[in-house]
């Protein structure tokens, strides 16, 4: 997690938006969702997980270093309204995106139930922040080191089974998690918004790298999204497209001195 001075972006930012950045002259352009902004200070907060070459290089930056190219805020802001009782789900590093959304929804008068999950307790982020913005916070870990032993969807399932009134679900996380969430809520017709994280290049609608299929229509996540109705998203296509450069990502990591840590979603925001 790091703060970047970017006064123009900080001023315009709304929950759900992201930036594209490049860490050096030969670097790739990658999208990162904005976790927070401070207009007075002129800063935005970004969180990234070291999974690829660019995110690894980001992790090596020290206080005072410059990010040569940073552009934003990109994407449409998420829909914020008073829906009633809302369940916000953050999986892994995407909790960083769930947090501003939860805060905005709380500010709009919703009662907030938050579920955050990670592989283990050391990887949980923003727990205190999420607790402050939530009326109810649930924690899950894959290894059981904290909270519920299992997945965020287990908790969601329990909530649904207990017939908790849920007016809307908003999910942020790996595609596979968002797919599972959407599959859970679909039979109950609970409106479910997801924030998609496809590979991007320019982030301005110019290349079509980020195309996703929503209700059978091709959309560009960078300008039409990144937030879409989870019941209409073709997650299998999204997951296949996220795997498009796994081999190249390995070559790229090997060619640098960076640590190998290619996870399932090399480009996860």
Partner 1 sequence: MAGKPSEKLLKRVPVRKRPPEIRKHSFDEVSLGYNEEEAIAEASRCLKCPSPFCVKGCPVQIEIPAFIECIKKGDFSGAIAKIKEKNSLPGICGRVCPQELQCENECVFGKRGVPIAIGALERFAADYELRKGVKLPKKAKSTGKSVAVVGSGPAGLTAAGELAKLGHDVTIFEALHLPGGVLVYGIPEFRLPKSIVKAEVEYVSRLGAKVKTSVIIGRTLTIDDLFESGYHAVFIGTGAGSPWFMRIPGENLNGIYSANEFLTRCNLMKAYVFPEYDTPVHSGKRVAVIGGGNAAMDAARTALRLGGEDVRIIYRRSRDEMPARAEEVRNAEEEGVTLELLANPTRYLGSKEGRVEQVECLKMELGSPDESGRRRPVPVKGSEYLTPIDLAIVAIGAGPNPLIAQTTDGLKVGDDERFIVDEQGKTSRDMVWAAGDIASAEGTVIHAMGNAKTAALAIHNYLTK
Looking at beta carbons only, is 106 or 241 nearer to partner 1?
241
Cβ distance to partner 1 smaller for residue 162 or 260 = 260
Angstrom distance (rounded) from CA 216 to CA 181: 20
- Using rule CB under 8 A, residue 71 touches partner 1: yes
Q: CA neighbours within 13 Å on the CB side: how many for 62?
A: 0
Q: Tell me which residue has tokens 């200070």.
A: 41
> 7 or 150, CB closer to partner 1?
7
73 binds partner 1, rule: CB under 8 A:
yes
Q: Are 170 and 101 in contact (CB under 8 A)?
A: yes
Among 12, 111, 121, 231, binds partner 1 (CB under 8 A): 12
Work out whether 106 is an interface residue with partner 1 (CB under 8 A).
no
Q: Tell me: does residue 252 bind partner 1 (CB under 8 A).
A: yes
The reply to whether 61 sits near partner 1 by the rule CB under 8 A is no
Examine residue 176 and tell whether it contacts partner 1 (CB under 8 A): no
Q: If 0-12 CB within 10 Å is exposed, 13-18 middle and 19+ buried, where does residue 266 land?
A: buried
Using DSSP's 3-state secondary structure scheme, residue 70 falls into strand
Q: Are 106 and 114 in contact (CB under 8 A)?
A: no
- Residue 225 binding partner 1, by CB under 8 A: no
211 binds partner 1 (CB under 8 A): yes
CA 3, 55, 182 angle in degrees (round to 5)?
Answer: 90
Interface with partner 1, residue 232, by CB under 8 A: no
207 near partner 1 (CB under 8 A): yes
Find the binder of partner 1 among 59, 240, 261, 264 (CB under 8 A). 240
Q: Footprint of partner 1 on residues 15-44 (CB under 8 A)?
A: 22, 26-29
- Tell the burial category of 257 from Cβ atoms under 10 Å away from its Cβ (0-12, 13-18, 19+): exposed
Cα–Cα distances in Å, from 178 out to 184, 192, 195, 206, 242?
A: 10, 9, 8, 26, 14
Assess 263 for contact with partner 1 (CB under 8 A). Answer: no
Shortest Å distance, C-beta 175 to partner 1: 13
Q: Are 73 and 34 in contact (CB under 8 A)?
A: yes
Q: Does 81 bind partner 1 (CB under 8 A)?
A: no
For residues 264 and 93, what is the distance between their CA atoms, to the nearest angstrom? 14
In the DSSP assignment, the letter for residue 201 is: S
**Among 124-132, 146-154, 165-173, 206-214, which window interacts with partner 1 (CB under 8 A)?**
206-214
The reply on whether position 218 binds partner 1 by CB under 8 A is yes
Site for partner 1 in 132-171 (CB under 8 A): none
Residues that bind partner 1 (CB under 8 A): 8-9, 12, 22, 26-29, 53-54, 68-74, 201-202, 204-209, 211-213, 218, 220, 223, 236-237, 240-241, 243-245, 248-249, 251-252, 255-256
């Amino acid at each position: 997690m790091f703060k970047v001075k970017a006064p123009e972006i900080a001023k315009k930012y709304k929950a759900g938006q992201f930036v594209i950045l490049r860490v050096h002259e030969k670097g790739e352009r990658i999208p990162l969702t904005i976790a927070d902004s401070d207009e007075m200070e002129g800063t935005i907060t970004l969180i990234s997980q070291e999974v690829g070459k660019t995110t690894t290089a980001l992790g090596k930056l020290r206080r005072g270093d410059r990010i040569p190219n940073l552009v934003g805020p990109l994407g449409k802001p998420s829909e914020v309204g008073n829906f009633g009782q809302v369940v916000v789900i953050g999986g892994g590093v995407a909790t960083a995106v769930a947090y501003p959304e939860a805060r905005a929804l709380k500010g709009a008068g919703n009662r907030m139930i938050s579920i955050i999950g990670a592989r283990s307790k050391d990887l949980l982020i923003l727990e205190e922040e999420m607790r402050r913005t939530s009326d109810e916070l649930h924690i899950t870990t894959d290894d059981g080191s904290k909270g519920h032993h299992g997945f965020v969807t287990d908790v969601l399932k329990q909530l649904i089974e207990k017939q908790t009134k849920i007016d809307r679900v908003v999910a942020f996380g790996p595609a596979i998690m968002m797919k599972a969430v959407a599959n859970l809520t679909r039979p109950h017709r609970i409106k479910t918004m997801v924030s998609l994280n496809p590979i991007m290049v320019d982030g301005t609608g110019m290349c079509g790298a980020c195309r996703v299929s929503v209700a059978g229509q091709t959309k560009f996540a960078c300008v039409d999204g990144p937030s879409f109705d989870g019941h209409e998203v073709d997650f299998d296509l999204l997951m296949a497209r996220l795997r498009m450069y796994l081999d190249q990502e390995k070559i790229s990591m090997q060619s640098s001195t960076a640590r190998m840590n290619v996870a399932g979603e090399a480009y996860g925001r």
